[in-house]
Structure 1
């Protein structure tokens, strides 16, 4: 304990954090954007100077990072201009936003700032999501061993091994990495979504059962599992709900709806495609029940955590609830069977006592599983230790060192070839 206190005192010296983002954060568009802002908040509160760099184009809905005291920097893929940038910045810690970004920029960080601590925020385990999606489309049962033949798994696991520490959002995915890929727990850190505690006075301010109406689904449509979920609702589940409850209305919200999403809009069936929510929190607070029959995916589901925060019970699947509630009762119902899913949705919508108990379950899950103070200090402690003893940490991550050695060469020369080709063109 005294050792950790000493390390945090040492952190009073200003440290530089470079975050390399896959996209610019859009916390109102996706759970990934909210997750990134949570990470920024943790490091900012602990005295880090933060620069956020990304090769992505600006978007209309990106957050203004300067309002949070974060410097914004546009960078290029396959360009030595990044080398000049990072040498001048000389960060103490580099956080890669998803493994694809580590693939692109990791070797440049290693070559130009070898002492910088390399963190990877996986968001979710992409190979797990991809393998599940493939099994679903091939109409077969997903098996964990499917991951071993997944091409993206080779890339993702290599990225995890090359980094000093990977931030994992799901305990189930931690187990997958330990048991299927034999990844050492020393290079993994469990960091779920982090939110504030719901106190009794906050709970009493939430809209009541009587004040709410309609079912709701909300999710970014650039994310394939969300589009599939809305299709599933429209074609299979919603007709069963309407048969039992003819007055039922479902409002579907989400950023970036495509034309095929908009075509599902059928007011006569009580199925409304609304599009982007100006304030997702307000939308969910006004709804009585969230529906999320998710059939494939990975990570934690931000929409279901948001439902709990808003006091809105939900009906979801085992994939939807995976790793989200420890051993606590769910915030509603978990059901994979179509007919039972529809029946439970109608029951939850109409039975006030069941609804209220489900709401309380959600509050208990948040206060037990997602408390910011429970995890943020631990993260800063381990980063502090890495800053002081990275050499020893890396010495014991032999597979990471091996991959770093070979990948540095292969990725480096591929990037330089692309850069030379771009200049020639």
Structure 2
């Protein structure tokens, strides 16, 4: 690690890392310390951009911008196609604007975080994380890759490596307050300010649980089984300490939530809107296709939705809306995706960046249909002014598995009902599981 940073950010997923970049951009804008690249997006000098960060006239683009856009909008790459380029220094990041910031170009100032990536073990998540980490480095941030999984000793080695920096940080930014490793890291923290950036719709549940004084627990976890209960009891002191640290007002500590989700702030909590201003200023506008894109979900993988009902719902949406592409969630299994492709004829796309960046770069369908998930809240912000319609298909209670948490349907309905600027679709009829 580098010498202790005043702001230290811990991320475990590509979306969390993207949202740390958005948070730092928002803080710079609030503090009036935006870089020249940021100011150019706001200058009103005849070549200014609209409120959504896109150029007002295509003629105002430079020849270099047009060349870059043509190269970068050829298609959405698959993970395997981009993995080699992601590791190659100077290979470029898809969507990079000509003349954009180069490494060390100045994510400076008191708010600039040192970002620590705590990667999961699955290859898709790791690949996306490396790509977003490359974006962060191009913006001038220090990014440290710290393995904390994949072996019995990995968590302890990571904790030992990070402990001094955690104790010395004045501000700590986390992407997943439910993560047990992050909760362990918060135990020695002395930071005067804690910031939680979105890890998707889980932010809604985090704030609600904190307000009710409950232990922090993912909404889709049932906690059944003697082994699970023993583990929860053994871990309860660590979880309780993390909950107290994340509760506003404890020991004079400030707590901020940076989110695109509709949350009601707790007393003493600062809630800051994430409207994807950095993404809109940095990428796009996207080229729109004539078709409809579907967005996949990992509800089957988490045991919430029955596979047969999910497959039937995707088939019905494909036929009704003329969908041609299916953007897979990074945790969807190859077997499930193969079955979907065979049943629907959809082109299965495995994005190598978070969907907000993929959609902003384009090409993207004029309509994007999703099941209840994070993107029904984030894409309307990322795609402001582009003409793209985001639609959300409700989940019928009959789709849920017997193992699904009793709170599952209410949570998913809440995700749908609170989404802004989306078109709401009824649940698709699906056959009984067989």
What TM-score do the two structures reach when normalised by structure 2?
0.50
Matching of residue 17 in structure 1 with residue 6 in structure 2? yes
Which among 245, 256, 280 is matched to residue 358 of structure 2? Answer: 280
The 2-side partners of 1:74 and 1:286 are apart by 31
Q: Which residue of 1 aligns with 2:327?
A: 252
* Conserved? CA contact 1:289–1:312, under 8 Å: yes
SS in 2 for 1:236: helix
Which among 275, 286, 289 is matched to residue 367 of structure 2? Answer: 289
* Conserved? CA contact 2:187–2:242, under 8 Å: no
Query: Relative to 1, partners in 2 of residues 1:230 and 1:275: Cα closer, same or farther, differing over 3 Å?
Result: farther
Structure 2: 5+ residue stretches without partners: 34-108, 149-154, 210-216, 223-235, 395-412, 430-434
Q: Which residue of 1 aligns with 2:127?
A: 60
Which among 261, 269, 276 is matched to residue 187 of structure 1? Answer: 269
Q: Which residue of 2 aligns with 1:92?
A: 170
The 1-side partners of 2:241 and 2:308 are apart by 31
Which among 354, 377, 389 is matched to residue 313 of structure 1? Answer: 389
* Residue 240 (structure 1) shift: 6.3
Q: Which residue of 2 aligns with 1:103?
A: 183
* Conserved? CA contact 1:256–1:275, under 8 Å: no
Bigger Rg, which one: 1
The 2-side partners of 1:311 and 1:197 are apart by 17
* Residue 256 (structure 1) shift: 5.0
The 2-side partners of 1:69 and 1:292 are apart by 34
The 1-side partners of 2:307 and 2:327 are apart by 8
Query: Relative to 1, partners in 2 of residues 1:284 and 1:104: Cα closer, same or farther, differing over 3 Å?
Result: same
* Residue 67 (structure 1) shift: 2.5
Bigger helix share: 1
Counterparts in 2 of 1:17-416, with a 5 A limit?
Answer: 17-23=6-12, 26=14, 30=15, 32-43=16-27, 46=33, 47-48=109-110, 49-56=112-119, 59-61=126-128, 62=130, 63-64=133-134, 65-74=136-145, 77-78=155-156, 79-86=159-166, 90-99=168-177, 100=179, 102-110=182-190, 116-121=192-197, 123=199, 124-126=203-205, 133=220, 157-161=243-247, 164-169=254-259, 172-174=262-264, 184-195=266-277, 207=287, 212-218=289-295, 234-236=311-313, 238-239=315-316, 242=319, 249-266=324-341, 269-276=344-351, 280-281=358-359, 285-294=363-372, 301-308=377-384, 310-316=386-392, 317=394, 319-325=414-420, 330-331=421-422, 333-338=423-428
Of the two structures, which has the highest relative contact order with CA contacts closer than 8 Å and spacing of 6 or more?
Answer: 2
The 2-side partners of 1:33 and 1:229 are apart by 31
The 2-side partners of 1:155 and 1:216 are apart by 43
Query: Relative to 1, partners in 2 of residues 1:54 and 1:287: Cα closer, same or farther, differing over 3 Å?
Result: closer
Structure 1: 5+ residue stretches without partners: 1-14, 136-150, 176-183, 340-425
* Residue 156 (structure 1) shift: 7.1
CA RMSD in angstroms comes to 4.7
The 1-side partners of 2:184 and 2:384 are apart by 37
Query: Relative to 1, partners in 2 of residues 1:338 and 1:52: Cα closer, same or farther, differing over 3 Å?
Result: same
Aligned length: 278
* Residue 106 (structure 1) shift: 1.6
